[in-house]
Every structure is written in structure tokens, then in C-alpha cells.
Amino acid sequence: MYKNNKRSWAEPFKIKMVEPLFMTTIKDRLRYIEEAGYNTFLLRSKDVYIDLLTDSGTSAMSDRQWAGMMLGDEAYAGSENFYHFEAAVQKFYGYKHVIPTHQGRGAEHLLSRILIKKGDFIPGNMYFTTTRLHQELAGGTFVDVIIDEAHDPESEFKFKGNIDLQKLKDLIESKGADKIPYICVATTVNMAGGQPISLQNLKEVRQMADVYGIDIVHDMTRVAENAYMIQQHETGYEKKSVAEIVREICSLTDHATMSAKKDALVNIGGFLATNKDDVYTEASNWVVVYEGLHTYGGLAGRDMEAMAIGIAESVQDDHIRARIGQVHYLGQRLIDFNVPVVMPLGTHGIFLDAKRILPHVSQENYPAQTLAAELYLDSGVRSMERGIVSAGRNEVTGKHNYPKLELVRLTIPRRVYTQAHMDVVAESVQAVYENRAAVKGLEMVYEPKYLRFFQARFRKL
């Protein structure tokens, strides 16, 4: 009742069903991490206490989403749930056409195949692993045109997801607009630490794209989180709702790929959206080959129903404020412990700066991979490497890509863990940080050809 802006971000829900967690002993964990080749992707989930590997497909669905699952119309063609889902995409995101896919990379595959020709260049605000690989498999070369601040974990710039317009212009001028099938704009930028792009910047990118006649593809995996950061930090947007900002972001782009496993609060699902009829026609043909008919795209009817409801829930101000509030709560605890983290705090997780935490481990000995393994050993908390292992090798030279950022991501699933879980995580990170001097690096003993971070195996030095 009384006006007070200092109220906490408490969750706008209460818990109706619980899933037990199991603790392991240090003796168990020593064995499990060795058996997993020091790769947290290869651990069994039953051996993990608090799982911060990813926010992808790990969210808790609402009672309404679960109720929607019971309304699955499992017809092969023309499922009623598809039409609900299509209506949700049109209402909340404003794209004209939508094609469901089993997850984000399914949409990336289709769109890359349709838009990219061999020898093309695709500028983007930093790479994402699957996005870049699909661009490369289609014959293109990804070019990073994000602002320099994004590569500096200590820069406090609020919109580190912004595109450097000069870098973009130079690329277009040097390669020629006909060699640039589209500009890839991600909201938010995962690999930079969950950093948002501003609407001001996106409008400028749109203007430049129009001058050269180039399309914009929107990787809208975490668009609501980006919209919340705009509402909090961009002048002129303080009074706009997250839903309104999301619509405005989408309206500045031509096509979109979405992993609904993040923002949209489902355990599986994604889509490709486009405003262009010809791209839609081609995509609805290719989707039959790789995913399934254009009214299910590899999903069950019930999955599309849950996605339709999740999209509506994801843009509610209360939801997103609590979601990012929890992430920032963890971040602030780590800052209070003086642990080096990527600044400003991101939206889907907190990113530990492994280069500063383990300065004695050289990048060839995988500091972030090492740190993730140490954290698991300490407490059973599972995190993910986002450094040199994730960056892979240069297609042409075969050498490691050496990213400036060597990070461990503590990714927070939506609506899953409590504040007490965040405290346990912070205390474990602090313990590892205090004992960091004794930590030794790793060597890689098995390296898969594509997206090596998922399945690579390591040995302790």
C-alpha cells in the first residue's frame, strides 16, 4: 500500500509440486567427474545437486502450461495447437509467418540453407555455437561485428550486445552487399555474458540494412530478457511494458529463429518466423524434409500448446523482473565475495571470469573448463564452459579460435531454484575462489569435429 521502491523481486508464483534433489559426497564426485572426462556435459543429471548447466529446456512450466499439455491435438496435420501457437507468435512477436521446429538449431539450419550461398559473409553481434556452425555448413563465413566492449569482461557498458556500425559498414563495403545475405542480431548475446542490445542501436542497424537492401535475422531466444534491460536502462522506455518493447524489437527485423526452450518456458520447441512470403514458402518445403510437416515441425501438439502459453507468460513484467532479479541476486553475492564476474550482470546467468580467477592456467589448458570441474567437485553444482573449448577451431587453419572471453556460465533455469539455492552456489564459488592457487589445468584427450564442447574429454595435468 505504501509507496516504496525498495521492495524485493520475490517470485510471482508459489510452488505446487516438488522434485527431490540428491547430494553426493566428494569421493563420489571425484569419480563422476573423472568418468565424465572433466566435461560437465558428460555428467549424469542424478549426480548433480544444483544444475546450472543451462537455462535451455530446464524451466518449470506453469499449471496453465501443464493444463495445456492435456489439450494436445495429436493430429499429423493441422493440429489445433499449431493455430494457437501461430496466433501467439503473431500477437506477441508480430511476425507474419511461423514454422515450428524441434528447437532453435532446427530453425537456424532451415534459414541458413535458404538464405546463405557459398562465399557469403554473415555479420552478427558475436557468434553463438550452433548459429555459426549452420552458417558455415551452408557455405558462409561468420563475421563478428559486436562492439569492442563486449569482449571486455570488465567494461560496465550497459548495452554490450550492440553492433559496431562502423565494423558493419566496413564489412558491407569491402565484400559488397550482394555477399551479405543478412545481418544476424541476437537478443540478448549469450556468449558475451547475456548482454542486451539497445533499441537505439537496433534502429541504426535497421537503417543501414535498408540503405544496402540487406535483411535482418533476429535470434530472439532471450528477447524478453533483452526487453527488460531496455526498460530498465534505455531512455524513453522506462514506462513501456516488456511486451511492448518485445514487439518493437521484432518489428525492426525481417526473420527470426527462436529456441523456445529459454524465454518461452518450454522443455522443447522452437520456430522460424518471417515476414517474407517467399522465405516462408521455401521454409515450409524444407521443414518437411528435416523436421516434420509445417504444422508440427518435430513437435507434439501438446508441446505447441505449452509453447503458446509460455510465450504469453514470458513477456509479463512480473515474471521477467523476478527472473532477472534472481540472476542478479546471485551476481551481487559473488561481487560481494570479490569473485571476478562479467559486468554488467547478464540476464540468464552469471559468468565467472576464468582468466582472472585462474591466471596461472594458460588458455591452452582450458581455464574455464577447469573451473567448471572444480566447482562441481566442491559442491555438485554444475556449470558450463564458455571459452576456448566452446569457440572451436578455425575452419581454414584448423587452429583453436582464441576467444578473449574465457568464462564459466552459472545459468539459472526459470522458476526452478530458490534464493537459498543461490546462496549455496555463491558459497561454493567463493570456496573454489579462495583455493584457486592450487588448481591445475587440463589437457584434451578426445575432440569431436563439430561443437566439440558438448562431448570433448579431458585429463588433469
Least distance between ligand F0G and beta carbon 7 (Å): 31
Among the listed residues 149, 219, 234, 313, the single contact to ligand F0G using CB under 6 A:
219
Q: Catalytic: 85? A: no
Least distance between ligand F0G and beta carbon 437 (Å): 30
Among the listed residues 33, 50, 51, 54, the single contact to ligand F0G using CB under 6 A:
54
CA atoms within 13 A on the CB side of 194: 31
Say if residue 263 is exposed, middle or buried (CB neighbours under 10 Å; 0-12, 13-18, 19+). buried
For ligand F0G, the closer of residues 181 and 269 by Cβ is 269
Q: Catalytic: 187? A: no
For ligand F0G, the closer of residues 115 and 172 by Cβ is 115
Q: Is 448 helix (H, G, I), strand (E, B) or coil?
A: coil
- Candidates 197, 199, 203; CA nearest to 222 is 197
Of the residues 28, 76, 281, 450, which is catalytic? 76
Q: Which residue is nearest to ligand F0G (CB)?
A: 104
Structure-block grid coordinates of residue 54: 543451462
For ligand F0G, the closer of residues 439 and 451 by Cβ is 451
Q: Catalytic: 454? A: no
Q: Catalytic: 141? A: no
- Candidates 113, 110, 92; CA nearest to 101 is 110
Alpha-carbon distance 69 to 81, whole Å? Answer: 10
Least distance between ligand F0G and beta carbon 103 (Å): 3
Least distance between ligand F0G and beta carbon 108 (Å): 7
Contact 283, 62 (CB under 8 A): no
Q: Catalytic: 453? A: yes
355 binds ligand F0G (CB under 6 A): no
Reported residue count of the chain is 461
259 binds ligand F0G (CB under 6 A): yes
Q: Interaction with ligand F0G in 92-151: which residues (CB under 6 A)?
A: 103-105, 128, 130-131
- Candidates 299, 330, 257; CA nearest to 84 is 299
Element (H, E) at 323: helix 317-336
- In this structure, how many other beta carbons lie within 10 angstroms of the beta carbon of residue 122? 27
194 binds ligand F0G (CB under 6 A): no
Q: Catalytic: 276? A: no
Structure-block grid coordinates of residue 384: 558450463
190 binds ligand F0G (CB under 6 A): yes
Least distance between ligand F0G and beta carbon 290 (Å): 13
Cβ contacts of 420 within 8 Å, gap of 6 or more: none
For ligand F0G, the closer of residues 131 and 198 by Cβ is 131
Q: Catalytic: 38? A: no
382 binds ligand F0G (CB under 6 A): no
Angle (nearest 5°) at CA 124 between 122 and 127: 100
Contact 269, 301 (CB under 8 A): no
Of the residues 262, 355, 436, 452, which is catalytic? 262
Sites of contact with ligand F0G (CB under 6 A): 54, 56, 103-105, 128, 130-131, 186, 190, 219, 221, 259, 261, 270
Q: Which residues are catalytic, by number?
A: 76, 128-129, 219, 262, 386, 453
